[in-house]
A and B are shown apart, each in its own frame.
Chain A
Amino acid sequence: MIHSLFIINHGGDVFLEKHWKSVIHRSVCDYFFDAQSRADDPVDVPPVITTPHHYLISVYRAGLYFVSVCTSEMMPLFVIEFLHRVVDTFKDYFGDCTESLIKEHYVLSNVPWRRSAVKYTNNEAYFDVVEEVDAIIDRSGSTVFAEIQGYIDCSVKLSGMPDLTMTFINPRLFDDFSFHPCVRFKRWESERLLSFIPPDGSFRLMSYHIGTQSVVAVPLYVRHNISFKTGPGTGRLDLTVGPKQTMGRTVENVLLEINMPKQVLNCMLTPSQGRVTFDPVSRLLSWTVGRVEQSKLPNLRGSLSLQTGAPPPDANPAINLQFTISQLAVSGVKVNRLDMYGEKYKPFKGVKYITRAGRFQVRT
């Protein structure tokens, strides 16, 4: 079982500790700091660290390390999942999870699933069907791998004890799914509908996964030409973004990010639309494109200045792409209807569809 928990900020300060059994001195965190200093990147710190007497299991979220100390065998996922839930809970309570917020708040009041006799003047139930497209596009533009991760997030403010039933037009699309505990799994199994008494407020009703069988539409393409070998100390970059399979919708909030290799000192680039920034420290080039129209394809071109003397990088960096398409669930999942039983009033119901990029990567 978890013996102790330490929360550590980026500077390496243990700013909160909690012991559930006997007190373990915080010097145990030194092992963690060792591992941290060995890792180049915060995410490279191994989740489980073995020390002579303890096991340190940690998660890294929102710039904070949550390090738990265990003394004996137990499922690491148990601890990891628990720590993530702690962070989720913080976020639920404080809206975010930062050091100052955690320090500030210490009164955690109790929020029940459903208070008895909940009463709202406006009874409303909103559902967001959010789909994230995960993809790897290879340098020639063909899709190596694409799948969809979907969520149904709800905000339900209904009086009394409503019993909701949600049906889909095409439930067979789902390859795999997981549910909020309120969903009656048996009914899903037999009838493919979601039947549940919702908790009060916002929660994630269901997550699903579509990929193995269906062909996933890839809404954007990127034409790229990155070269580091145009001359001594210079390189060239030319990117064009265009819509591919958008099903008639506009792709918005497009953002391209490239982690440049360490030889790149600076970028002199001009976008035909949007804004470009380059952070010379993290070497992150980001191009906020905005909306992509078919008529005028956004383009970014210019030169890169490289470290002279050092050999130019031999591989091109991958492009991470972000976008959103509103009013569309790219998989074609559609909510058929939402019925409410158990209460007399007529609720206001709304379903919103959003597609956005998940882990969308273009190899160059």
Chain B
Amino acid sequence: MWDPKMLPRIAPMATSVGAAGFGADVRSGMAAGGGGGGGGGGDIEYGNEATPAGFFSADFKRHDDLKQMLDSSKDNLKLEAMKRIIGMVAKGRDASDLFPAVVKNVVSKNIEVKKLVYTYLVRYAEEKQDLALLSISTFQRALKDPNQLIRANALRVLSSIRVPVIVPIMMLAINDSVVDMSPYVRKTAAHAIPKLYSLDPGQKEELVTVIEKLLADRTTLVVGSAVMAFEEVCPERIDLVHKNFRKLCNVLVDIEEWGQVIIINMLTHYARTQFIDPNLQDGPGDQPERPFYDDSESESESEGSDAEGQKRKPYVMDQDHALLLRSTKPLLQSRNAAVVMGVAQLYHHLAPRSEVSLVTKAMIRLLRSHREVQSVVLTCIASMTTQRKGMFDPYLKSFFVRSCDSSHIKILKLEILTNLATESSISIVLREFQTYIASHDKTFVAATIQAIGRCASNIADVTDTCLQGLVALLSNRDESVVAESVVVIKKLLQTQPGEHKEIIRHMARLVDHIKIPMARASILWLIGEYCDRIPRIAPDVLRKMAKTFINEEDIVKLQIVNLASKLCLTNPEQTELLAQYVYSLARYDPSYDLRDRVRLMRHLVFPADGPNSRLGKYARRIFMATKPAPRLESSFKDRDQFQLGSLSHYINARATGYRELASFPAEAPDPTVRNSVVPLPERPPEPALQPTRQRGFYSDSSSEDESEDSDSDSSSSGSGESSGESSSGESSSSEDAATARTKARARAPPPTRGVSALRPPQASSSDSDEDDSDEEGSTSGSGSGSDSGSESDGSASSAAAPAAPPPAAPAPAGGGGGGNSVDLLLELDSVPAPLGTELLTPSLGGLLSPVAASGAATATAKADTIELVSAQFVPSEYRELVNPITGSGLQVRYRYTRAPHLYSAAMTSVELSFTNTTQQEMTDIHVGQKALTAGLTLHEFAPVSLLAPGGTVGSTLGVDFRDSTHAARFDIVTGGGRTVPVSLAAPMGEILRPVTMSDDLFQRRRAQLRGMNEAGGSVTPACCPTPTDVRKLVLAAVNVAALSSDTGDNERQLRFAGQTMSSGTLVLITVGLPAADGGDGAAVTVTVNCEKMVVGNMLLKELKTQLLR
């Protein structure tokens, strides 16, 4: 990732920020850390003047001696003069009259002087165009200089001179430079492009062709700047990105930081136009993802009928989409906040819901950074929390406010805390809020009160508590606190139009004291609205208000008029005169708004043609209509229309030049456009890819019931799959690999060279023994080629190399024909459809023949394949789930069958046995309410309609534990309405399924899962166990397959393999036995390798306990 090769490039990052940043060119500082590369930077910038600024006349004088110095023949004098001039420029003084004197020094041999002259030139060329032209020929000459730094510098300055006359010269220079030998010059050329474009947009077409060339550049130094030019000049030309997409993803980590930001942003836009929405199927909201298999099941069922194609296909992530997510993920660890934020927004806008939370930690880390960074990140989090509560939930405390936070940070944190508050965390949040109310910062206190109001209206449990708290605040000494509370209480009462008479009365009393207009207005509105609740107080309030009317603020006056109207309609005897009086006062009020209002009201309340007129009749209904309650919601709710992390998002307004993020297309555009002639670099095995890979296993089955195109998709992705697999160490040439595979699988016909010749030249030329990334690409290529040439069944099974194509199963008869499939097989980016009906094939041991197939499976595991086999040991004893006492006579026992569950392969199948211990019949035993956490899914057992006294009935339950030991909680309901809550947690060993593989592959996979992924320990059993004993013990506890073919007692190392049910993560267990003569007390070592550390550790614990038996 952080490759040592890049050191010299990254090296001058700091420098170029300073040097180039203040140097002749912003772009090298901004887009390109490499700017100064090896001595090019170091521009001299700010000057110090010998004396502080004097009078203008003094200035003139000084300019004279500067001129003299510039004219002198001594370099050090010139240098001194230039330093002072540049100092003046930096201070914003006008030094343009020195132009002629300076510009002739452009030919100076002294590099320091030259650089300063360049800087000066860039600043003033626009003003002195004619004179600036004098220097152009110098640059033109420099562009041909043998030294790359001089060439680059010349181009930089040339492109920074904003003189329209030289556009053709610039164009020429750029065209020459993009094919320059030196990447540094090419990079500079990329920087020059936007400058030329801003000078003359007419050049766009030609520039686009230049950009296309640059985008194809393979040097990481250039790519970042090329993308920057692309973004500035032609962001709409998405077609230019296609061919470079995979390259960009793969080199992303090696590009310097600023380039990464630009590229990530560009790729976000790109991906939104090219891939379909990964969250399409689970609808909006915060729910966890629905299990994958459910969909596939229903899909394959319906597929038999005619509805094919019309139905929504199960979502399968495009491999390029996955690649993008995978290659940006490591950048979350960047030290650059902009990069981290870039990745975070990319995940927010592109990742499946379940994966977005990967960015949480990194975002929280940014909160420790500078205030400005905090501000931006908090704004983003505030906007994210309106949709994704769960993501930041564990970090609630990171948003607690400190007294030293600046005030807008406080407000943002408050916003987030409010968004995050749930039933479970509200007490903590409210306790925090309580401390905030005592703060000295009054705006913050006001915001806190608002936040309490929002919590109260969002979370029903605490509404009353909050309301009580707010009412208590009404007696606060600080008036602004009281005022804010009044406003919030008003809103709350509106949302809760229940009996809150006491509060309203209390507030009516407040009118006498409280001065803040907004609060007064709120109280008056409340009294008017609910005047029927306080019939005695309301008229009196109006009386007082009428007295003070002329001294009130407009907003209060309006509410007084309102109150008068409402009272007059409900209680005319007491208030009619008062209302008349108020109306009269308002009629002559300076505010036209108020005059206007009162004119309208008078006609409604005191209609000219008597109270029975049409207006009069409806007046009451108009005034006393039930008003919709105000919704107290996050002000960040609508921010999501802007791209996260963008300037527009931050200021919540469309900024100049903001580009809308496209919404996902309904149908993915042709993914083949991204197939490039550049071979795919290595794809490291990554957990993020796991689900995809899992699907690959079953590609043959999907081809069975999918339509023709999805079939070829599946097989081609199978080949992508094999490329991933073989990356682990298949270093032979492509041909060998293909042959090996053929041997391993007698059914597969020999590879067809003709097809592999269709691969790009790099692919077929891989006879070398190098074990580099190109190699893998080619291996996979010819692998798929051979498949496509073969018969359809071969294509399916051999493409799915790591999967378990059933040796005994009849081959599926899907498959696309001839040329068409060849085309499609060449693409490596689509993913097969998910698991279909595969589970029903006998090869998996089915339900009835647990052990039969295992031998055969082990035998076929010669090649680099991982094959599913059936359980090698099935426990027979039952454990109790419900005892007769709690179940009031119903006893439920269970055992793990270790056979695949019919409904979904990810489910652990649990056999339940119901026994009726009572004397009465039991009827209709079924699953009641389910309380499943953490994405667990449960397939209910078939209801038992009748259970005779003393009788026993079996049934099977399927639970997808999601590779966790979370208990599945549900109720078993019996006919009598009796509900028995049960909780079923599987030991780690039962959420695995056994797989076999060759010893060699085992070792290689194990080597990949070292470090954190390895959990090891040792136990000392009472007596020295034999390998057979140990094998039995392990198999009894854990549903894995023993790999060692040698069953003798001499073996000192036992190997077992399995994969987790839900995600198919590989689990490798190695048990090392002490030497046979080691005697008692010798330790047995157990090592578990698994990508999921939790699984590994828990498994280790279980195994250790088991081995001590």
Contact = CB atoms under 8 A, between A and B. Distances in A.
Interface stretch (A183-191, A217-225, A344-352): A183-191
Contact of B440 (A209, A212, A313): A313
Given A77-B341, A85-B14, A178-B334, A110 B47 contact: no
B1010 A113 contact: no
B265 A209 contact: no
B1070 interface: no
B1012 A72 contact: no
B30 interface: yes
B656 interface: yes
Contacts of B17: 82, 85-86, 89
Contact of B684 (A47, A59, A110, A186): A186
Point out which of B27, B198, B340, B1012 has the most chain A C-beta atoms below 10 A from its C-beta. Answer: B1012
B285 interface: no
Interface in B338-382: 338, 340-342, 361-362, 364-365, 368, 370-373, 375-377
Contacts of A93: 18
A208 B645 CA distance: 23
A243 interface: no
Contact of A199 (B11, B334, B395, B438): B11
A80 B337 contact: yes
Nearest to A183: B2
B783 interface: no
A108 B22 contact: yes
A40 to B, nearest CB: 8
Given A17-B91, A145-B397, A108 B41 contact: yes
B253 interface: yes
B335 A55 contact: no
Given A16-B46, A55-B647, A73-B658, A114 B1 contact: no
B11 A72 contact: no
A145 B439 contact: no
B657 interface: yes
B951 interface: no
Contacts of A32: none
Given A191-B1010, A361-B404, A77 B376 contact: yes
A71 to B, nearest CB: 6
A361 B402 contact: yes
Contacts of A26: 92
Contacts of A315: 438-440
Interface in B271-330: 330
Nearest to B33: A181
Nearest to A318: B403
A176 B376 CA distance: 20
B918 interface: no
Nearest to B93: A17
B372 A59 contact: yes
A111 B659 CA distance: 38
Contact of A106 (B46, B404, B659): B46
B4 A163 contact: yes
A23 B337 CA distance: 29
Contacts of B1010: 190-191
Contact of A77 (B36, B373, B656): B373
A93 to B, nearest CB: 7
A165 interface: no
Nearest to A50: B651
Contacts of B26: 1-2, 20-21
Contact of A138 (B2, B41, B435): B435
A14 B92 contact: yes
B395 A59 contact: no
B672 to A, nearest CB: 30
Interface string B655-696: 111110000000000000000000000001000000000000
A26 B91 CA distance: 10
A149 B87 CA distance: 41
B403 A74 contact: no
A238 to B, nearest CB: 20
Interface string A117-151: 00000000000000000101010000011010100
Interface residues of B, number: 110
Interface string B1-22: 1111011101111110111011
Given A144-B397, A196-B2, A75 B338 contact: yes
A197 interface: yes
B253 A185 contact: yes
A180 B334 CA distance: 7
Interface in A29-64: 41, 43-44, 46-48, 50, 55, 58-61
A315 B440 CA distance: 8
A149 B370 CA distance: 14
Interface string B419-443: 0000000000000100100111000
Interface string B592-603: 000000000000
B75 interface: no
B257 interface: yes
A67 to B, nearest CB: 12
Contacts of B10: 113, 181-182
A78 B403 contact: no
A44 B408 contact: yes
A113 B655 contact: no
B400 A145 contact: yes
B721 interface: no
A107 interface: yes
B711 interface: no
Point out which of A77, A176, A179, A209 has the most chain B C-beta atoms below 10 A from its C-beta. Answer: A77
A358 B194 CA distance: 44
A25 B330 CA distance: 42
A68 B365 CA distance: 25
A172 interface: yes
Contact of A181 (B257, B342, B397, B477): B257
A335 to B, nearest CB: 17
A359 B335 CA distance: 20
A109 B12 contact: no
B12 A113 contact: yes
B91 A80 contact: no
Contact of A178 (B18, B126, B365, B655): B365
A304 to B, nearest CB: 16
Contacts of B394: 212
Contacts of B86: 106
Contact of B48 (A58, A70, A104, A110): A104
A290 interface: no
Given A59-B370, A75-B338, A181-B10, 4 more contacts: A1-B30, A21-B26, A106-B48, A209-B368
Top 7 A-B pairs, shortest CB-CB distance: A113-B11, A72-B657, A20-B26, A315-B438, A185-B1, A89-B18, A43-B406
10 contacts: A44-B408, A108-B43, A108-B44, A108-B45, A110-B36, A112-B11, A113-B12, A172-B1012, A185-B1, A199-B7
Interface of A: 1-2, 14-23, 26, 41, 43-44, 46-48, 50, 55, 58-61, 70-78, 80-82, 84-86, 88-90, 92-93, 102-114, 134, 136, 138, 144-145, 147, 149, 163, 171-172, 175-186, 189-192, 196-197, 199, 204, 207, 209, 211-212, 259, 261-262, 311, 313-318, 320, 359, 361, 363
